[in-house]
Chains A and B, each alone.
Chain A
Amino acid sequence: MNYQINSLNLLIENLAKLPGIGKKTAQRLAFHVLKTEREEIAELAKALLAVKDNVKSCSVCFNITENDPCEICVNPRRDKTIICVVEEASNVITIERLNEYRGLYHILGGALSPLNGITPEKLKVRELLSRLSGEVEEIILATNPTIEGEATAIYLAKVLKNIGVKVTRIARGLPMGGDIEYADEVTLAKAIANRN
Chain B
Amino acid sequence: MFLKQISLTNFRNQQEAKFDFKQGINVFIGKNGQGKTNLAEAIHYLCFLKSFRTSSDEFALKKSEKQFQLTGNFNFKDGSESEVILLYTKNEGKLVSQNHKSVAKFSDFIGSHPCVCLSLEDLAISNGSPSERRKFLDVVISQTSKVYLDSLIRYGKVIKQKNKLLENYENQSDLLDTWDEELSVYCFEIIKRRREFLKRIIPNLSYFYKKLSGGKEEVTCVYESSLENTETQADIFNELTRKRKIEVAKKTASFGIHRDDLTFKLNGFNAKGFASQGQHKTLILALKLAEIEFMKSEVGEEPITIFDDVFSELDEQRIGEFFGLLSKETQVFVTTTNLDLFEKEVWKIKF
A residues in contact (CB < 8 Å) with B: 112-115, 119-120, 147-148, 150-151, 154-155, 158-159, 184-186, 189-190
| Chain A residues near B179 (CB-CB < 8 A) | 151
B150 A147 Cβ-Cβ under 8 A: no
CB-CB under 8 A from A184, the residues of chain B are 108
| A-B pairs, 5 with minimum CB distance | A114-B164, A114-B165, A185-B146, A155-B178, A186-B150
Choose among B158, B161, B168 the residue with the greatest number of A CB atoms under 10 Å from its CB: B161
Q: How far is the CA of A186 from the CA of B147 in the complex (A)?
A: 5
- The answer for the CA separation of A115 and B158 in the assembled complex, in Å, is 10
Q: Is the CB of A147 within 8 A of B157?
A: yes
Contact B164 A115 (CB under 8 A): yes
Chain A residues within 8 Å of B164, by CB: 114-115
The complex places the Cα of A51 from the Cα of B181 at a distance, in Å, of 40
Say which residue of B147, B160, B178 sits within 8 Å of A154 (CB atoms): B178
Once the chains are docked, how many angstroms separate the CA of A151 from the CA of B164? 14
Q: Could you say which residues of chain A place their CB within 8 Å of the CB of B160?
A: 115
Q: Are B161 and A114 closer than 8 Å at their CB atoms?
A: yes
The answer to the question of B218 belonging to the interface, with a C-beta cut-off of 8 Å to chain A, is no
Chain A facing B: main interface SS: helix
| A158 contacts B146, C-beta separation under 8 Å | no
User: Could you tell me if A158 and B108 are in contact, using CB atoms closer than 8 angstroms?
Assistant: no
Q: How far is the CA of A175 from the CA of B157 in the complex (A)?
A: 26
Interface residues in B168-212 by Cβ distance below 8 A to A read 168, 172, 174-175, 177-179, 181-182
Which residue in A119, A147, A158, A190 is a CB contact (below 8 Å) of B154? A147
CB within 8 Å for A154 and B108 given contacts A115-B161, A115-B164: no
Partner of B147, one of A112, A119, A190: A190
1/0 contact string of B206-250 vs chain A (CB within 8 Å): 000000000000000000000000000000000000000000000
- Chain B residues in 8 Å Cβ range of A150: 182
**Docked CA distance A113–B162 (Å):** 9
Contact (Cβ within 8 A) A154 B181: yes
B147 touches A147 (CB 8 A): no
> How far is it, in angstroms, between the C-alpha of A119 and the C-alpha of B175 when the chains are bound?
9
Pick the contact of B161 from A151, A158, A159, A189 — CB < 8 Å? Answer: A151
A113 to B154, CA, bound (A): 14
- Which chain A residue has the least Cβ–Cβ distance from B145? A189
The answer to whether A113 and B177 have CB atoms under 8 Å apart is no
Q: Min CB distance, B346 to chain A, in Å? A: 37
Given contacts A147-B182, A154-B178, A190-B147, 17 further A-B contacts (CB under 8 A): A113-B161, A114-B161, A114-B165, A114-B168, A115-B161, A120-B175, A147-B154, A147-B158, A147-B161, A151-B161, A151-B178, A154-B181, A154-B182, A158-B174, A158-B177, A184-B108, A185-B146
A148 pairs with B147, CB closer than 8 A: no
With a cutoff of 8 Å between Cβ atoms, the chain B residues found around residue A186 in the complex are: 146-147, 150
Scan B37-53; emit 1 where CB is below 8 A from any A CB, else 0.
Answer: 00000000000000000
Q: How far is the CA of A185 from the CA of B144 in the complex (A)?
A: 12
CA distance A46 to B178 in the complex (A): 45
Docked CA distance A56–B179 (Å) = 33
A-B contact pairs, 8 of them (CB 8 A): A112-B178, A114-B165, A114-B175, A120-B175, A147-B161, A151-B178, A159-B174, A186-B147
A148 touches B161 (CB 8 A): yes
**A190 partner residues in chain B, CB cutoff 8 A:** 147
User: Which chain A positions have C-beta within 8 A of B168?
Assistant: 114
Given contacts A115-B160, A147-B154, whether A189 and B178 have CB atoms under 8 Å apart is no
